[in-house]
Amino acid sequence: MKISRYSVLRFIPLFGLFATNVAFGSAPVGHYTIADATVVDNKTRLTWQRSVPATMYNLSDGANYCGTLGAGWRLPTIKELQTLIDDSQLSPPRLDPAAFPSSPSVGEYLSSTVFAGASSSVWYVNFYSGSTGYDSGAAPYNVRCVRAGTN
């Protein structure tokens, strides 16, 4: 059973409670260093996989997939995935389109963080809405791998 937990701040733009002079666009200039296959977040120093595989993975297979990318690649934690949410994007996906141009606009992305109340459940981020939730670790999800940055 999927259970989502929504952040009140993520709903503010939907109700028109934001200042009218707020500009919406991509992440601030210099936030990311973009290469062909990777994106470095200059704030968190994490290196992200730029595109996602067409195959969806459960927790075990997703962790194995990330390991095939080379040394240091792994599934991100829920907190790491949340750093990619771009609240300036009013249409899905809620990711910087310059950094992550081919991201599916629907679907949740798997994290490695196990839900404290049920060890067989894991947290995910929904980049369509910017919300988080948890579900069975056996369920298939999109995967975007991460590793510690090099810059």
Rounded Cα distance between 73 and 53, Å, is 14
Q: pLDDT per residue over 106-125, tens digit each?
A: 889 999 999 998 889 999 99
Least confident of 9-13, 29-33, 92-96, 144-148: 9-13
Residue 10: inside a domain: no
Residue 14: inside a domain: no
Confidence of residue 25 (pLDDT cuts 50, 70, 90): very low
Tell me which residue of 51, 70, 42 sits closest to 147, measured CA to CA.
70
Domain that holds residue 75: 52-145
Task: Provide the token pair at 148.
Answer: 């510690």
Question: What mean pLDDT is predicted for residues 18-35?
Answer: 56
Residue 6: inside a domain: no
Residue 57: inside a domain: yes
Residue 25: inside a domain: no
Look at residue 37 and tell me whether its pLDDT is greater than 60: yes
Count of domains for the chain: 1
Residue 7: inside a domain: no
Rounded Cα distance between 26 and 64, Å, is 32
Rounded Cα distance between 121 and 1, Å, is 10
Q: What CATH number is associated with residue 123?
A: 3.10.100
Look at residue 83 and tell me whether its pLDDT is greater than 90: yes
